[in-house]
Amino acid sequence: QVQVVESGGGLVQAGGSLRLSCAASGSIFTIDTMGWYRQAPGKQRELVATITTRGTTNYADSVKGRFTISRGNAENTVYLQMNSLKPENTAVYYCSMETSRRTYWGRGTQVTVSS
């Protein structure tokens, strides 16, 4: 059984920073791409950032220059460093682990940015 668990969310003031962590455990095939997505109330889930096994990154335009995705030294871990947070960044942030067979999702971690 595969588990994907996020952590690091919380309440922060605008302009502040948070670092999200995600780790996958269990019998999982080779992960090709790890990513972060978010879903704000009343909106669809959207891409925040992804990183491939080769380290190629992709960011939503709205977070470029403020957010950084990175792979951890431990296998199947990924981080999202979020700086200069804005109230519009408030959402549930989900971690994704994509293999050749399927994509695994965590349950999400709440990020709330107050103005």
The pLDDT score that the predictor gives to residue 29 is 78
Supply angle C-alpha 53, 92, 3, rounded to 5: 50
Residue with token string 């972060």: 36
Residue 30: pLDDT over 90: no
Residue range 40-64, pLDDT digits in tens: 999 999 999 999 999 999 999 999 9
Residues 6+ apart with CB under 8 A from 1: 26, 27
| Cα–chain center distance at 48 | 7
Name the helix (H) or strand (E) containing 5.
Answer: strand 3-7
